[in-house]
Amino acid sequence: MSSFIGCGARYGGARAVIFGAPFDSTASYMPGSRFAPAALRNESGAIETYSPYLGRDLEDIGVHDMGDLELPPGDAEAMLRAVERRAAEILKDGKIPVMLGGEHLVTLGAVRAAYEKYPDLRIVHFDAHTDLRDEYLGAKMSHATVIRRCWDILGDGRIYQFGIRSGTREEFAWAGGGHTNLRRFDLKGAETLADALGGAPVYLTVDLDVLDPGVFPGTGTPEAGGVSYAELRDALKAAARCDIVGADMVELSPPQDLSGVSTLTACTLLRELLLMAGASTDGSNELIK
């Protein structure tokens, strides 16, 4: 399987472009998300290209799979540069980059590129964790600081966080001080996001650990009490009505996914996300039931 199922479009004609960022060096609990892009492609043959939820088929929309970046383990700065370069190139060509992590820090590289093109960028963030520390074990660049680093770029009020159920007291207080819009525990509010943002460009980042570990054990820092698959899918569908200019799906960790179910769940969610993103940007939202 050399590309994700149904993503056989040529680059030139593609509306969305997926690429892998197999990096997990700052993982503090369980490393392994570096293996996610390969696992997603290898196992994607087990799902259908057609979504009965959306009534659309991956074969109908143009997605190209560029494969993985080559990233040296242990060098976060090199990784960030490589991700930014790749995302900028795709954005320059008028396409939507959809990045497959890897750990959450990879998001920062893509956000840098998206901000460069869209200075009024917003971030919509699904996660179990705040990711708002200013540093973690002495490091500024970490999966635990990544949204704080994004805030360094975007500033107050531009980041919308959903499903957050873990963080330090300080992180929650900092967010509550107006720096980000943080929704605790569930995904309520996602349904009004598109109206609230009124056409502003949005980078969508999905940390899969927002899901309950019962349905998604295959991640590096699972946290009890998450949302169901249907809740996440519905919230993504609502969020996809925004003007999505880039997206990612991070923190699947195949070594923790002993049953293989998390990988398949991520495959299905990626299909839905691609179908949603394809719809949201080509004006054909009305096709989605």
Nearer to a second copy (CB atom), residue 118 or residue 172? 172
Our CB check for a second copy shows the closer of 73 and 119 to be 73
Binder to a second copy among 153, 191, 229, 288 (CB under 8 A)?
A: 229
CA torsion, ordered 219, 161, 203, 104, to nearest 10 deg: -30
Closer to a second copy by Cβ: residue 41 or 122 = 41
Based on the shown chain and the rule CB under 8 A, indicate whether residue 10 belongs to the binding site for a second copy. Answer: no
* Separation between Cα atoms, residue 257 and residue 92, nearest integer Å: 36
Residue 147 makes contact with a second copy by CB under 8 A: no
Least separation in angstroms between CB 241 and a second copy? 20
- Return the range that interacts with a second copy (CB under 8 A); candidates 12-20, 32-40, 85-93, 114-122: 32-40
Distance of CA 238 to the CA centre of its chain: 15
Instruction: Answer for the pair 247, 200: CB distance below 8 angstroms, yes or no.
Output: no
Residue of 76, 89, 66 lying closest to 20 (CA atoms)? 66
Q: Is 209 exposed, middle or buried (0-12, 13-18, 19+ CB in 10 A)?
A: buried
Bridge partner residues of 56 (DSSP): 51
Q: Which is nearer to a second copy, 31 or 200 (CB)?
A: 31
| Pattern 202-221, a second copy, x by CB under 8 A | ----------xxxxxxx--x
Residue 152 interacts with a second copy (CB under 8 A): yes or no: no
**Beta-carbon count within 10 A of 148 CB:** 24
Residue selected from 4, 19, 24, 275 as contacting a second copy according to rule CB under 8 A: 24
Give the number of residues in contact with a second copy, rule: CB under 8 A. Answer: 69
Options 10, 13, 70, 178; binder of a second copy; rule CB under 8 A: 70
Q: Are 197 and 122 in contact (CB under 8 A)?
A: yes
- Smallest gap from residue 36 Cβ to a second copy (A): 13
In the block, tokens 């003007």 appear at: 243
The nearest distance, CB 178 to a second copy, in angstroms, is: 18
Among 84, 127, 207, 223, binds a second copy (CB under 8 A): 223
Run of H or E including 67 = strand 63-68
Of 164 and 197, the one with the shorter C-beta distance to a second copy is 164
CA distances from 286 to 112, 218, 235, 243 (A): 32, 34, 17, 15
Torsion of CA 282, 283, 288, 289, to 10 degrees: -170
CA 52 from centroid of its chain's CA atoms: 22
Position 176 contacts a second copy (CB under 8 A): no
Residue 119 is a binding residue for a second copy (CB under 8 A):
no
**Which chain residues interact with a second copy by CB under 8 A?**
1-2, 24-32, 34, 38, 42, 46-48, 50, 52-53, 57, 70, 72-76, 78, 136-139, 141-142, 164-169, 172, 184-185, 212-218, 221-225, 229-230, 233, 255-261, 264-265, 268-269
